[in-house]
Chains A and B, each alone.
Chain A
Amino acid sequence: MTFATTLRNSLGKDLRLEWRSKDAINSMLFFALLVVVIFSFSFELSAEESRRIAGGLIWVALLFATVVALNQTWARELRNQVLDVYRIAPAPLESLFLAKVLGNFIFVSVLELLITPLFIVFYNLRSVGPWYYLVIASILGNWALVVNGTFFGAISLRTRSREVLLPLILFPVSIPALLAMVSATTVTLTGESSPYLSLVFLAVYDIVFTLLGLLLFETVLQAE
C-alpha cells in the first residue's frame, strides 16, 4: 500500500472508532473541564490578572488532557494484536505514525474549540492583541503536543506502568514548546508585544520534532 492510502485508511479508522465510542474526547473534555474549574477555584482573579495567567492555565489544562487521550491511542492497537499486524504489514510505518498524529491533532483541536468558550466565561477573558495570533499559536502548539505525545506514547507502550511513564518522559522534552505556546498566548492576550518570535520558535520546533518522529518511529515500533 502506498503512503497516502495507508495514511487515509488508518486515520479514517481512528476517527470512525472515536466517533462511535467517544472514549478519548469524553475523557479529555471532562478532564480539561475539571482542571479549568479547579484553577478557577484556586485563584481569585481580576480581569487584568486572569489575562496575564490565562495562557499558562489553558495550555496546562490542554497538556494534561492530551496525556489522557494519548495513553489510549496506542493501547487501543494492543487489543487483538493489531500492532503486531502493523509491524509485519508491507505498509510504510511512517504513515501510521502520521495518521495517529493527525487523529490526535483533530481530537485536541475539537477539545480546544469546546473548552475555549468555557475559559472565556470563567476567566472573563478578552484579547487585547489580534485574535488570529491565538489561532496560529493553538495550531502550532497542538501539533507540538501531539507529535511528541504520539511518539512518546509509542515508547511508553512497552514499559511497566505506561500511564505513569508517559507524562514523565513527555513533559521534559515538551517544556521548550510549552514555554513558547504560553508566551505567545499571553503576549497576545495582554497585547504587550508581538508573539512573532515565539511562533517562529514553535514552527521550527514542530518541523524538527515531526521529522525526528518520522525518522525514529520505525525503530521504536520494531524494538523488541
Chain B
Amino acid sequence: MKTKFVVFALVTLALLSWGLYEALVGAPTEATMGHVQRIFYYHVPSAWVGFLCFIANFVASLIYLKTRSARVDAVAVSTAEVGVVFCTIVLLTGPIWARPVWGIWWTWDARLTSTLVLWLIYVSYLILRRYSVGGPNPVLAASLAVFGFIDVIFVYMAIRWFRTQHPQPVIGGGENSGIDPMMLKALLINFAAFAAFGFLVIWLRYTLERVRQRVEEAHAMKALGSAR
C-alpha cells in the first residue's frame, strides 16, 4: 500500500513536471492572446478533473443511499472536497485570463454563473457535512448531493442553450472546434497530470477519512461497553 502510494506520487510528480514543460515551452504561443493563453493548460484540465470529481461524488452518494457502506461515504466526502478545490482553481484562473483578454474580470454569463453555482452547491454540501457531526450525516449529505447534481446538470446544459461570452467547448464541441496538435498534446498531458494529482489527493483523503471513521467507531463501542 505504502510503496504503491509512493510510486504513484512519483509518477504524478513526473507527469506534472512534463505538463509544466509542455505548457510553458512545448506549446506554441497563441496568435492573438499571447503568453497569457498558456493559463488554458491549467484552467481547462482543472475544470475537467473537477467535473470528474463531482460525477464520482454523485455516483458514490447514490451507492451510499443503496448500500450504506462507510467506504463509499469516504469516497463521497473525499471526491467532493477535491472537486471543490479544482473548481476553485477554475474560478481563480478564469478571471486572471479574462482580465487581459476580455478586459473584465468577471461577467454573469451562463458558463461563469453555472460554474460559480456549482462551487456554491458543493461548498454547501461540505458545510452540511461539517455541521451534522455524528448521527445521520452521511445520509443527509448523500441526499443533498443528489439534489445538487441535478442542479449541476441544469446549469451545465445552460451553456449549450445560451450564447455566452465564455468560448464554446474546444474539444468535441462540434464543427470549427479543435486546436493546434501541439496545444492539444500539452492540454492532454496536463489533464492526465491533474487527474493523477486529483486521484492522489483523493486517495490520501480517503485513507484519512477511513481512519477517522474507525476512530469514531471505536469510541462508540467503548462508550457502549462502559455503559453496560
Contact = CB atoms under 8 A, between A and B. Distances in A.
A179 B155 CA distance: 11
A179 B125 CA distance: 21
Interface stretch (B90-98, B139-147, B195-203, B215-223): B139-147
B148 A220 contact: no
A224 B135 contact: yes
Contacts of B124: 168-169, 171-173
B53 to A, nearest CB: 17
A176 B155 contact: yes
Interface residues of B, number: 28
Interface in B63-97: 65
A219 B133 contact: no
Contacts of B151: 172-173, 176
Contact of B128 (A169, A209, A212): A169
A106 interface: no
Given A173-B151, A208-B150, A209-B150, A160 B133 contact: yes
Nearest to A211: B150
A223 interface: yes
A209 B120 CA distance: 18
A36 to B, nearest CB: 25
B20 interface: no
Interface in A149-174: 151-152, 155-156, 158-161, 165, 168-169, 171-173
A216 interface: yes
Contact of A223 (B131, B136, B154): B136
B127 interface: yes
**B113, B133, B136, B137 — which one has the most chain A CB atoms within 10 A of its CB?**
B136
Given A165-B127, A219-B139, A224-B136, A205 B144 contact: no
A97 to B, nearest CB: 13
B131 A172 contact: no
13 contacts: A151-B147, A160-B131, A169-B127, A172-B120, A172-B151, A173-B144, A176-B117, A176-B151, A212-B150, A216-B147, A220-B140, A220-B143, A223-B140
Interface of A: 148, 151-152, 155-156, 158-161, 165, 168-169, 171-173, 175-176, 179, 205, 208-209, 212, 216, 219-220, 223-224
